[in-house]
Amino acid sequence: MNILEVAGGKPIKLWTQGVPVEDDARQQLLNTAKMPFIFKHLAVMPDVHLGKGSTIGSVIPTLGAIIPAAVGVDIGCGMIAVCTSLNASDLPDNLQGLRTAIEQAVPHGKTFGRRDQGAWEHVPATADHAWQSLAARFKAITSKYPRLEKTNNRQHLGTLGSGNHFIEVCLDEANRVWFMLHSGSRGVGNAIGNLFIELAQADMRQHIANLPDKDLAYFEEGSRHFADYVEAVEWAQDFARQNRALMMQAVISAARKVLGKPFEANLEAVNCHHNYVQREQHFGQQVLVTRKGAVSAQKGQLGIIPGSMGAKSFIVRGLGNEQSFCSCSHGAGRVMSRTRAKKQFSLADQVRATAHVECRKDKDVIDEIPMAYKDIDAVMQAQRELVEVVHTLRQVVCVKG
């Protein structure tokens, strides 16, 4: 761990040894560290890279204030993984049928909601019960912010999305089969995030010129929108958690149909956020902890650190390192933008990099090529003080939106 002292701000503690940190991301860290309500120090994870306002891969502890853009617009985005009683030998030699079954079971990608091209006409009925547990709280939020009613909320519950969201079938070091997926609060979380970022900037209109970055606009505790934002964020985080659980049920059901044999699917299970804010106790004080692309790693707590498409992933156990506010990275972290990746790499590069995985191999996923991300082994080495590896997973099937 390295410490960067910041003139006029709090120190920055970085677990980035052996991994690159871009200059723009470093500047964002300096900007955030100068905010007047930062508690103790910023904690920077090895997957750190440029984000909106604040870097992805940072842990931002605050007293009496929240920065909505630091929480981000994919509120509650995270991971879920389950270990099954299946072994590699239980899987068919050709995994295309399993990938197709998962793609048909879980609405995903930009064609979601279209009736053509075999896309889904509606959200699976299994989402009805989950939505009932969310509906009353959502109505309380939309009564104050009617703009949120006209979002994809109920329609997106149980859906994957696109971009870096994925579903995978993996094998661990003992060749046991795992199912793992990555998604968040979808359209409604995005709408909540953007609405409150706008409100924070509007509330600070007279002072925003004094901020290092307008996306560091914040709500002070007790201000007009603070409590409403906390309520909406907590709801979006619950939506995201249930969204992942519903998709996992669909993946398991699809696998059971394809494999044609009974199996257990909850031998080990992890469901964790990596874009969120919550109140926690640190250094003897109650603080708000924003994890923007970071995972809680309390002592003994299980978490998931996925590699890029085609790379290894890890089930980890937190070591409870207080200096990191008991956190770890949320993945490998990008080393280049999606635009640059599409310019730099070819479809042939993508095919070679994912040769060992049953997955899409087309120009629309080149931006997810493993070389657009940091080396996951270097990322894990840099945070060995934060987590210990419980299982190492390798992909055999990957579904992208």
Q: Is 321 annotated as a binding residue?
A: no
Q: Is residue 260 scored above 70 in pLDDT? A: yes
The answer to whether 159 touches 106, Cβ cutoff 8 Å, is yes
Strand runs (DSSP E) across 184-221, as ranges? 219-220
pLDDT score recorded for residue 361: 87
Reported as type and span, the H/E element at residue 281 is: strand 275-282
The answer to the question of residue 75 being in a domain is yes
* Residue 41 annotated as catalytic: no
Q: Is residue 338 scored above 90 in pLDDT? A: no
pLDDT score recorded for residue 269: 84
* Number of domains into which the chain is organized: 1
Q: Is 164 annotated as a binding residue?
A: yes
Reported as type and span, the H/E element at residue 33 is: helix 23-33
CA gap 392, 397 in Å, rounded: 16
pLDDT score recorded for residue 117: 41
Interval 276-286 mean pLDDT: 96
Q: Is residue 380 scored above 70 in pLDDT? A: yes
pLDDT score recorded for residue 236: 96
Secondary structure (3-state) at 299? coil
User: Regarding predicted confidence, which is higher, 394 or 161?
Assistant: 394
Q: Is residue 120 scored above 80 in pLDDT? A: no
Least confident of 9-13, 56-60, 153-157, 392-396: 153-157
User: What is the extent of the structural domain holding 238?
Assistant: 2-335+373-400
Q: Is 156 annotated as a binding residue?
A: no
Q: Is 307 annotated as a binding residue?
A: yes
The answer to the question of residue 46 being in a domain is yes
The answer to the question of residue 33 being in a domain is yes
CA gap 55, 133 in Å, rounded: 33
- Tell me the CA distances in angstroms from 208 to 200, 201, 215, 384, one per residue in order: 10, 7, 9, 39
pLDDT score recorded for residue 111: 57
The active-site residue out of 122, 330, 356, 391 is 330
Considering the chain, what percentage of its residues have pLDDT values greater than 70? 96
pLDDT score recorded for residue 336: 86
Residue 112 confidence class, pLDDT cut points 50, 70, 90: low
The answer to whether 325 touches 61, Cβ cutoff 8 Å, is yes
The answer to whether 86 touches 176, Cβ cutoff 8 Å, is yes
Alpha-carbon Rg for the chain, nearest whole angstrom, is: 21
Residue 75 confidence class, pLDDT cut points 50, 70, 90: very high
Count CB atoms within 10 A of the CB of residue 36. 12
Residue 386 confidence class, pLDDT cut points 50, 70, 90: very high
For the record, the structure tokens of 274 come out as 């990596």
Task: Annotate 151-186 with DSSP letters as a single string.
Answer: SSSGGGTT---STT-EEEEEE-TT-EEEEEEEE-SH
The answer to the question of residue 218 being in a domain is yes
Task: Please state the length of the chain.
Answer: 401
| Residue that has been written with the tokens 């200096």 in this structure | 323
The answer to the question of residue 23 being in a domain is yes
Interval 5-19 mean pLDDT: 96
pLDDT in tens, 291-312: 999 999 999 999 999 998 888 9
The answer to whether 66 touches 219, Cβ cutoff 8 Å, is yes
Residue 76: CATH number of its domain = 3.90.1860.10
pLDDT in tens, 247-256: 999 999 999 9
Q: Is 182 annotated as a binding residue?
A: yes
| Residue that has been written with the tokens 């006409």 in this structure | 121
pLDDT score recorded for residue 121: 45
User: Regarding predicted confidence, which is higher, 136 or 359?
Assistant: 136
The answer to whether 165 touches 183, Cβ cutoff 8 Å, is yes
Residue 389 confidence class, pLDDT cut points 50, 70, 90: very high
- Tell me the CA distances in angstroms from 239 to 24, 141, 159, one per residue in order: 32, 13, 11
pLDDT score recorded for residue 134: 94
pLDDT score recorded for residue 116: 37
pLDDT score recorded for residue 125: 59
Reported as type and span, the H/E element at residue 254 is: helix 226-259
User: Regarding predicted confidence, which is higher, 235 or 208?
Assistant: 235
Which amino acid, 89?
S
Q: Is 292 annotated as a binding residue?
A: no
Q: Is residue 115 scored above 50 in pLDDT? A: no
The answer to the question of residue 340 being in a domain is no
Partners of 272 in the β-ladder: 79
The answer to whether 235 touches 141, Cβ cutoff 8 Å, is yes
pLDDT in tens, 343-376: 999 999 999 989 899 988 888 889 888 899 899 9
Q: Is residue 384 scored above 50 in pLDDT? A: yes
User: Regarding predicted confidence, which is higher, 130 or 59?
Assistant: 59
Taking the model in full, what pTM does it have? 0.92
Residue 267 confidence class, pLDDT cut points 50, 70, 90: confident
Interval 147-165 mean pLDDT: 90
CA gap 66, 355 in Å, rounded: 44
Q: Is 74 annotated as a binding residue?
A: yes
Q: Is 366 annotated as a binding residue?
A: no
The answer to the question of residue 80 being in a domain is yes
Q: Is 210 annotated as a binding residue?
A: no
pLDDT score recorded for residue 43: 98
The answer to the question of residue 256 being in a domain is yes
- Tell me the CA distances in angstroms from 201 to 66, 68, 207, 225, 329, one per residue in order: 12, 10, 9, 12, 29
Strand runs (DSSP E) across 75-137, as ranges? 78-87
For the record, the structure tokens of 204 come out as 């600070």
